[in-house]
Amino acid sequence: MSSHIESLEASTDYDKNNPTNSNISAPKSDDEDAPSSKKIEEHTSVVAAHYNHLKEKGLKERFNSPIFYLRNFNNWVKSVLIQEYTDKIREKDYGKPLKVLDICCGKGGDLSKWQKARVERVIFADIAKVSVQQCETRYEDLRRRCGHLYSAEFIAADCTKDTLRDKYADPSINFDIVSCQFGFHYSFESLIQARRMLTNISECLKPDGYFFGTIPDAYEIVSRAQKSQNFAFGNRIFNIKLLFDPKEGYPLFGAKYDFHLEGVVDCPEFLVNFDLLVKLAAEYGLELVYKARFSDFYKDHTEKYKQLLQRIICFESYPARPGKELIGEPSEYEHARIIWDEMDKSNTRDCIGTMSVCEWEVATIYMAFAFKKQKHVWDSNGKPSYITSADKK
Ligand SMILES: C[S@@+](CC[C@H](N)C(=O)[O-])C[C@H]1O[C@@H](n2cnc3c(N)ncnc32)[C@H](O)[C@@H]1O
């Protein structure tokens, strides 16, 4: 297992990989390895078309979804991130009205999470126009239902190519939080796109503000792909196939793979070399303060957010409750059956909260991260020089 990881880690040495510059620089237009603008155009429209055509699911459909618990678990992770980082900002200034950029917002899966976090204003941005319209409609519905709600703005834009600040009603706005949930990896198609995305994320983020999000963990994907045949793996609810040959190395950008997740995602995505992201983000004054795979994120936060786990039904009851069926095949609950049998022996039988192996295999592909925006001073060339936590020591 170590060999593929070493090669992935080795590829983060961008000084070596980029013989022309000790910094990560934008590929030149005549660079053969740089994806052509036509190719990038094609890919982003595939992504936009895919998300635009995703049907909105009703409550009944969501209840019968084969990824019901996975969706809820993902929502738990996002809720915890939002709660944790809004709390951190409020620790310093309790009554502060918080402003947020929800980048790659989709149909507004986090609309009500921002309401619970009592923020003042949210700008929602996404490449998929239809999704942005649905997000706005859902916002209006929520406002009607709850009377008072944060103010909002909705922007349809390619956040890996457009300058978002030019599109804000108030271009002088400063955010306390930028959240990018399950979307940042689309920017790793090319260095130029990753840079544009990071500019959009960081340029209006206040010093001491947070940028957090969730992405597929490249390490985990590569690790599973290496163990599989044809660099493809999956189960009844998801499939991933690498679209490049890892034997020829891992591209820093444009490491494309096909991702199919039952009823939610069916389009190509890009691996995010996380070490590279950390180095690149530092150039934008963003310092990594937290990262964890979802399995570790769960361990880190389960005690504090136990009630929320139960409230949003992240786990399935094993055995199935009377009159109900398990969502997966019996073989997907071996882990729960063993515990259940143990409980039987000790006469402490109670229902177990669990997830089918198939759903957990998807959940554990993802990771969560958080960066903190550093304060800066201007250098003699008029460029920002960021003060990292190491400098403060
Ligand atoms: C898996 S969805 C996540 C949506 C939402 N953040 C959530 O958690 O429910 C990924 C989103 O990223 C958006 N996206 C992909 N590429 C993008 C780009 N270049 N600019 C802006 N949004 C993009 C897609 O349109 C889609 O809505």
Q: Which of 229, 201, 365 is nearest to 297 (CA)?
A: 365
* Residue stretches of the annotated binding site for mRNA: 74-75
Structure tokens at 393: 């020591």
pLDDT over 60 at 270, yes or no? yes
Length of the chain: 393
Among 33-37, 67-71, 73-77, 248-252, whose mean pLDDT is lowest? 33-37
pLDDT given at position 278 = 98
Instruction: Please indicate, yes or no, whether the overall pTM of this predicted structure exceeds 0.85.
Output: yes
pLDDT top residue among 381 and 9: 381
pLDDT given at position 61 = 58
User: Quick check: CB of 183 below 6 Å from ligand 1?
Assistant: yes
Indicate the pLDDT class of residue 17, thresholds 50, 70 and 90: very low
Which residue's CA is minimally distant from atom 17 of ligand 1?
127
Average pLDDT for residues 246-257, to the nearest whole number? Answer: 93
Domain residue spans in the chain?
Answer: 2-18+36-216+262-298+367-392, 316-354
Among 76-85, 220-229, 314-323, whose mean pLDDT is lowest? 314-323
Which residue's CA is minimally distant from atom 4 of ligand 1?
106
Indicate the pLDDT class of residue 23, thresholds 50, 70 and 90: very low
CATH number of this structure's domain 2-18+36-216+262-298+367-392: 3.40.50.150
Cis peptide, bond prior to residue 319, ω within 30 of zero: yes
Look up tokens 């150039």; give the residue: 283
Atom of ligand 1 nearest to the CA of 78: 8
Which residue's CA is minimally distant from atom 8 of ligand 1?
181
Q: What is the pLDDT of residues 321-365, one digit of tens each?
A: 888 889 899 899 999 888 888 887 776 667 788 999 999 999 999
Average pLDDT for residues 365-390, to the nearest whole number? Answer: 90
Distance 295 CA to ligand 1 centre (A): 23
E-assigned strand segments in the chain: 99-103, 121-126, 151-156, 175-181, 205-216, 232-234, 238-242, 256-261, 265-270, 286-293, 316-318, 352-354, 366-373, 375-378, 384-387
Mention every residue, 6+ apart, whose C-beta is less than 8 A from residue 131: 51, 52, 54, 105, 106, 107
pLDDT given at position 37 = 63
pLDDT given at position 62 = 57
User: Quick check: CB of 109 below 6 Å from ligand 1?
Assistant: yes
User: Quick check: CB of 156 below 6 Å from ligand 1?
Assistant: no
Maximum Cα interatomic distance, the chain, rounded to a whole number of Å:
73
Q: What is the pLDDT of residues 75-133, one digit of tens each?
A: 999 999 999 999 999 998 888 899 999 999 999 999 999 999 999 999 999 999 999 99
User: Quick check: CB of 160 below 6 Å from ligand 1?
Assistant: yes
User: Quick check: CB of 108 below 6 Å from ligand 1?
Assistant: no
User: Quick check: CB of 158 below 6 Å from ligand 1?
Assistant: yes
pLDDT given at position 59 = 55
* Residue stretches of the annotated binding site for S-adenosyl-L-methionine: 78, 104, 126, 158, 181, 186
How far is the C-alpha of 362 from the C-alpha of 372, rounded, in Å?
28
Name the 3-class secondary structure at 246.
Answer: helix
pLDDT given at position 230 = 92
Q: Describe the crossing of helices 37-52 and 129-146 by its angle, rounded to 10 degrees.
A: 40
Name the 3-class secondary structure at 231.
Answer: coil
User: Quick check: CB of 47 below 6 Å from ligand 1?
Assistant: yes
Distance 182 CA to ligand 1 centre (A): 7
pLDDT over 80 at 60, yes or no? no
Percent of the chain with pLDDT over 70: 85
Structure tokens at 300: 């880190």
